Structure 1
Amino acid sequence: MDNLGIIVGILAITTLSGSAGALALKQGMNELADLTVVKAITNKWLLLGSFLYIVSAATNIVLFKYLAYSIAFPMTSLTYVWTVFISYFTFKEKITPLKLLSIGLIIVGVVIISR
C-alpha cells in the first residue's frame, strides 16, 4: 500500500469524527428538557454533532478512493471502539469485560479484513 499514511489518517478522521459526533448528539439530547425544532437547531451540541457526522461521511467517501468498499466500510467499525473509550471519559460509562472482548473482536476483524 503506497498510500498507507493517507489511508490511516483518513480512517482516523472518519472514525473519530463519527464517534465524537454521536457523543455530541447524546450530550445535546441530555441538555434538552423538551425537544422542539427551535431548541434542536439552536443547541450547540446538536449542531456540533451534526457537523462532525458530515465530516465523517465526507472523509468516508474520500476513503473509498483508496480502498475497496468491502474493506473500507468494515474498517469504519472502529468508530465503535472510540465510542466506548470516549463515553467512558465523558459520560462515566463503565467498560465491562464484555465490552473489552467486543473491542478486541472488532480490532481483530478489522485487521483480518484489511489483509
Structure 2
Amino acid sequence: MNWFIGFFLLLTTTLTGSIGALYLKKAMNQMSELSVANVLRSGAAYLGLFFYMLSAVTNIILLDAFEYSVVFPMTSLSYVWTAMISVFVFREQLTRNKLIAITLIIIGVFVLSQ
C-alpha cells in the first residue's frame, strides 16, 4: 500500500471514529433516560455506530498493511479531531493544557511517521 492511501485511511479511521463518538454523544443528549428502547429509536445512535464501524474497518485495513507499532499510536489523532469537534459542536473550551496535549500528539505522530 502506498503512503497516500495509507494517509487517507489513517485520516478516515481517526475522523470517522471521532464523528461516531459525536453522534453517540448527541444521541445520549436527546434521550430522557438511557434504555435499550431509546437507543433503538435513536437515529443519532445508528449514525454513531455506523461511523464507529467504518472506523474499525479502515483501521483493520491499516493494521494489515502497516506495522502495529506505527499504526496504533497514529490513531491517537482521533483525540485531536475529538477536541476540535467538541469546541465547534459542543462549545467546549480549548484550554492551554488541551492545546499542549494536541501539539504533543501531532509531534508524536510526525516522529512515528518518519
The alignment's TM-score, normalised by the length of structure 2, stands at 0.96
Question: Does 2:29 align with 1:33?
Answer: no
Report Cα offsets for 1:41-71 as digits up to 9, x if no partner.
1101111101110000000000113210110
Letter in 2 for 1:101: I
Matches within 5 A, 1:1-115: 3-115=2-114
Runs of 4+ in structure 1 deviating by more than 3 angstroms, as ranges, are: none
Q: Give the number of aligned pairs.
A: 114
Q: What is the root-mean-square deviation of aligned Cα atoms in Å?
A: 1.0
Letter in 1 for 2:12: I
Letter in 1 for 2:13: T
The alignment's TM-score, normalised by the length of structure 1, stands at 0.95
Instruction: Mark the runs of 5 or more structure 1 residues left unpaired by the alignment.
Output: none
SS in 1 for 2:29: helix
Alpha-carbon distance in structure 1 between the residues aligned to 2:11 and 2:111: 18
Identical-pair percentage: 47
